[in-house]
Amino acid sequence: MDNLIQTLKGVGLKDKEARTYLALLKLGPQSVSTIAKKAALNRSSCYLILERLMKKGFVEKLIQENNSTYRAVEPLYVLDQLKTKQYELESKIENLGVSLKDFDQLKNSYEVKPRVVFFQDETGLQNILENTFSSSEPLRCYASLDELSLLLPNYMPRYYQKRVQRGLHVKAMYPANEQSFLHKKRDKSELRESRLIPQEFDFHLDIMIYDHKVVITSLKEKFGVLIESKEMAEAQKKIFDLIWKATADYDQKITEHFEKQSKTRK
């Protein structure tokens, strides 16, 4: 019984509401007086609790020959209702995410003061990655794929899929290694353009630049900082674009090298 009460409390019922629902589920359709007695409540409190349970979709009221009885909604139907609410909430979250660009345009109508946000651990990094979906332009990224994949092994495939669904493009630079080469081979399907750069540029950091934001994450130490500054973002974009242009020849040669190695193995 205690486990069932905790389960019901986990989906939004208060303690007395959970006990009343379970009592009614056990009794079948009953009058308020019978329910109140079984749930150890006075009649007035029982009325209020039943009203709340009806609003939450756990109880139905039956009227027959001017007599009112109440019955518990089957748990399976309650589950279906909760799933429907979940889908509706996910839809609202999705719509809000799509509208973030419009909200940002409103914010950009006045001068935004620079701000700095610190984050840490896997949850903080996931939140920052989710923030990239608000970008109004392709992302510019430097990344250490080995460490990023180890840090968020389950989240990163979902992130790539979600980014593609949003139609968000990426220009990314990775230190040249086998994993970066294999990642680069998926560029077309993952809306990405990659450059392999010399391994000495592996600073064990993940850097993302988009809109007026610069995100720097220390993958080994699991913390980072989001800097919202138009001037800093514009400067970092120019630096990125210069490195991007300067590494074109290296990227071509090292990619050919890995392709030859791959064919040799086969």
Q: Which of 134, 142, 133, 135 is nearest to 241 (CA)?
A: 142
CB atoms within 10 A of CB 187: 13
Q: What is the pLDDT of residue 27?
A: 82
- Residue 109 has a pLDDT of 55
Contact 212/115 with Cβ under 8 angstroms?
A: no
- For residue range 218-257, what is the model confidence (pLDDT) as tens digits? 878 888 899 999 999 999 999 999 999 999 999 999 999 9
Q: Which of 39-43, 96-100, 205-209 has the highest mean pLDDT?
A: 205-209
Extents of the domains making up the chain: 2-73, 109-265
* Rounded Cα distance, 266 and 263, in Å: 5
Query: What confidence tens digit (pLDDT) does each residue in 140-183 have?
Result: 999 888 777 777 888 888 888 999 998 999 999 999 988 899 99
What is the pLDDT confidence band of residue 32, given thresholds at 50, 70 and 90? confident
40-44, 65-69, 117-121, 248-252: which range is least confident on average? 65-69
How far is it, in rounded angstroms, from Cα 99 to Cα 84? 23
pLDDT of 112 reads: 57
- For 70-79, 84-93, 104-113, 225-234, which range has the lowest pLDDT when averaged over its residues? 104-113
Homologous superfamily assigned to 109-265: Endonuclease Chain A (3.30.870.10)
CA distance 152 to 147: 9
Query: What's residue 195's pLDDT?
Result: 94
- At the topology level, CATH places domain 2-73 in Arc Repressor Mutant, subunit A (1.10.10)
181, 187, 191, 252, 253 from 260: Cα distances, Å: 12, 19, 25, 12, 11
State the DSSP H helix or E strand holding residue 206, giving kind and residue range, or none if neither. Answer: strand 205-210
Alpha helices in 119-174 (DSSP H): 121-131, 145-151, 155-166
Closest CA to 127 of 206, 211, 226, 203: 226
Mean pLDDT of 11-36: 84
**Per residue in 102-130, pLDDT tens?**
776 666 555 557 888 888 888 888 888 88
- The pLDDT value recorded for residue 76 is 80
